[in-house]
Each structure stands twice: as structure tokens, then as C-alpha cells.
Structure 1
């Protein structure tokens, strides 16, 4: 039976502000991208998320981003590579400590939002992320978009580069994600999302927004925890994969 990793962005609540149903998402996914406090999350939220992920048998990863709480980390920040590397090291370290007190550990790194999109092509920032991860633990894989600079540089540095696709995002014909500022960028129909994922998992393909079909090899597929109807989408994806004989399991 084929196996695919499903990951979700979690731990993104902050103080009295609640976002997503992380506990419900853990029933469908195998990997948890835990916010590290820079784009979302606070120490109590992060610790609780690690505890709940560990109890559910879900692998924990560091969801590092720009220091941009107000923008939820989705805006590009033109910061120096040195500052960015330090920020990434800081975030991984914070998550490692909070996971450790819950008897868990951080096993991979996935950049978030604006940073994720920037390091598809921004070589200097991509190198900063790679350098940061390697300096903390060269055994930590990095998740990224197929063909991205960050994955190219990760492989060059001897790190494991893990290709990722998105269950609930539309694709441009060049394989990049449609900007969230454009209509149709985020898919909200559980049936459509399940069909999208099934094509990725069984055909290594994705239908772009212009109707063309792209070949895409993904070791992990992301179902965003903050999307409208996220739990319903994750449940539909899990069911569709199971019906197709595809099991859900970590890429590690």
C-alpha cells in the first residue's frame, strides 16, 4: 500500500484569540507544523499543541516564519540573511524546549507563509534558512515547494529536502501557488480538495488554475488548519486516500 504524509499548520492561536481546531486535525494528519511564536502562537499555546500532537502520535515540525504577528507572517520582509538565520534558530530552539517538556521532539522544519513563498526564488533568504537549520541540527529535514531554491540549497548542504504539495491551494502553470490576494487561490470545497489530493498522491500530478496538468512529486501534502472547514476537508482527504488504498504516515 502506498503511503503519503499529511501535514497541517497548527498552534496558531494567540492569547485569547483562537484559530483552528488542532485537536480535530490531529485525527487526520501525520505531521504537525507548530507555529513558533513569530507569526502566531504563544508559549502556552505551543506547549499545549506539542502535548496534544504527541498524544495523538503526530510528528512535530517547526513552522518558522518572519517576525510578523500583525501580518500573520504572510508578508515579505526584506531583512538581512544574518537576522533571518538568527530568527529561525531562535524559533526552532523555542519549539524544541517546549516540545521537550512534553516528552516530544522537533523532527523537521517547514517555513511559513511569506517566508515559504520568498525562498522559492530568493536565494539569499533561502540560504539563511538552510544555514540556520543546519547549525541547529543537520538531521532536520526541510519541507518546501518542488524546484524551490531552499530545497536546492538544502540538498547542496547535505540536508534532506522534502517536497510538498498543497491540498487546499490553487496552482499557477509554473508550479507556484496562486497568490492569496487573487480569487480562487484557496480551495474550500471538501470534495474538490479530496480530488485535488488524490490526483497528487496517485498520479503525481496537479491541475493548474488554467486547466493544464502539472507533474508534481510530493512526499508530504499540506491541509491548512486555518482554512474554512479545515476539519471537514482533512476528513474528506483521509477518507478519499483510504478508499484509493493510500495510507497516511509520516515522511520520516
Structure 2
């Protein structure tokens, strides 16, 4: 049976380093920070140019407008203001894509916004309405087995179901909070989890849980991310898996 998977990483989050350049050869799509939690016009353009060079599909990575907490906390904000912020972040990436002669492929929320949408219908619908308004038809990338996925499917909106290489899952399909022990996996656990997700469509919680994904994420801020990206890529290729954007 032919197996393919998209391998994505969150980029544009480590200004002044060469990490993005080192990860880019091993992935098929990227999610570019666009000002909510970090990033600006310069970093977005720089990352888009790198992605273009490596033929990597480009996604916008909007978050709660909360640079202080790196977008990792749910903040108190009026829905209209949140929608406006998400829209502005996406449109920044879209505009620079157009200026650089490439296509915006998807939108993947970041951090607390991603996890909030995965569990909350109101936030999911808010994100969906922004996407339909500013980037109609562009993929929404979000957590597999989530309210985000249900919301998109209910409205017939194209959705990429994402799994995680380096994060521990809970039995309901959510990701373990980073504040809890064991939330971020070790190198060996990452390699094992990737193979189970891609080849066997399952993930280990208390028992095995079925999980169908189209894309798998490696966080760029995971310790040894560059080496992990290379090892994940090589492991999957050895198993006959095609690494390609959705």
C-alpha cells in the first residue's frame, strides 16, 4: 500500500539563528509565525524565500496577539478583536507570498489558539469565518480528532488533520499540557510515535488509540529539532513513505 505524509514544522520563530535553514530540507510544509506570538515582515519574507528555495509548502501560523507569553496562554480578548488580529496575521503572509511569487497553501493556528479551537466550537467557528473571509479555500491545518476538524467538515471546508511527532497525547486525542511531566517526548519516543502514526494510524495513550492524520508536526523549539527532523525524514523514507505536502 502506498503511504504518503506531510512533514511540517513551525518556523520563523528563532530570529538570528540558522535553525530554519537547517530544518527546511527535511520537511514538506512549514507554518510561518506572523506577528501574533513572534515574527515581523522581515522574518516572514525571509522564511518564505527559504521555503520557496526548498519547494516547501507555505502556511501562515497566527496566534493570540500575545508576544509576552509566546502565544501559549488563552488571553482575554473581544471576539471581533481576535478575528481582526488573526486576519491581519494571515494577510501579512498572503501578501508577502504574492510579492515573492509563491502560493499560500494553508493556515495553522499556533499554541493556545490551536488548542482552544481544538476543544471549543465558538473559537473554531471564529477561525473558520476568518479563513472563509480572507483566504477562502485555503487549507486549515488543525488537530486530528478535534472540534476544529468537526467544524471544518460540517461546513465543507478543506482541513488537514495533524498529528505530533514530539508531544504526548491524552486519551481524548488532545495534547498533554506542556506544564505536565512527559508532555514533550524523548528522541526514541519521537521516532516510535512517528512510525506508529504514519504506518499504523494509531498513537499510544493508556492503550492504542486510532488516529488518522495527513500531516505530522515537529516543533522547531524541541531540543535537537534539526537532528530530529533529519532522523524522522530518513526513517520514513526507509519505510517507503513519500514525504509530500497535502
Distance 1:84 1:150 in 2: 17
Q: Which residue of 2 aligns with 1:87?
A: 85
Q: What displacement does 1:187 show?
A: 1.5
Superposed displacement of residue 88, structure 1: 1.3
Q: What is the aligned-residue RMSD (CA, Å)?
A: 1.3
Aligned partner of 2:228 in structure 1 is 233
Contact 2:146 2:173 in 1 (8 A): no
What is the DSSP-based 3-state SS (H/G/I as helix, E as strand, rest coil) of the residue aligned with 1:101? helix
Aligned match of 2:192:
195
Cα pair 1:142 1:160 within 8 Å, conserved:
yes
Mapped to 2, the partners of 1:76 and 1:188 lie a distance apart of: 27
SS at match of 2:216: strand
Stretches of structure 1 that go unaligned for 5 or more consecutive residues are: none
Distance of 1:19 and 1:109 partners within structure 2: 24
Give the whole-Å Cα distance in 2 for the aligned partners of 1:134 and 1:78: 24
Cα distance in 2, alignment partners of residues 71 and 108 from structure 1: 24
Contact 1:38–1:68, Cα closer than 8 Å, also in 2: yes
The match for 2:241 among 229, 239, 246 is 246
Once the two structures are TM-superposed, the CA of residue 20 in structure 1 deviates from its matched residue by 6.8
Residue in structure 2 matching 1:168, options 166, 169, 185: 166
Higher helix share: 2
Q: Residue 198 of structure 1 aligns to a residue in which SS?
A: helix
Matched, 1:206 2:207: no
Equivalent-residue separation in structure 2 for 1:78 and 1:155 (angstroms)? 28
Which stretch has the larger CA shift, 18-27 or 113-122? 18-27
Q: Which residue of 1 aligns with 2:183?
A: 185
The alignment of Structure 1 onto Structure 2 pairs a total of residues equal to: 245
8 Å CA contact 2:145, 2:211 repeated in 1? no
Residue pair 1:81, 1:124 contacting (<8 A) in 2 also: no
For residue 23 of structure 1, report the CA deviation from its aligned partner: 0.9
Per-residue CA deviation, residues 9-41 of structure 1 (Å, 9 max, x unaligned), is: 001135xxx467011111111001001111111
Query: Equivalent residue for 1:61?
Result: 59
Structure 1 segments of 4+ aligned residues over 3 angstroms from their partners: none
Q: 2:83 is paired with a residue of what secondary structure? A: helix
1:216 maps to which residue?
211
Q: Deviations over 1:43-95 (max 9, x none)?
A: 11111000001110000001111001110000012323222221111111011
> Structure 2 residue aligned with 1:42, among 23, 33, 40?
40
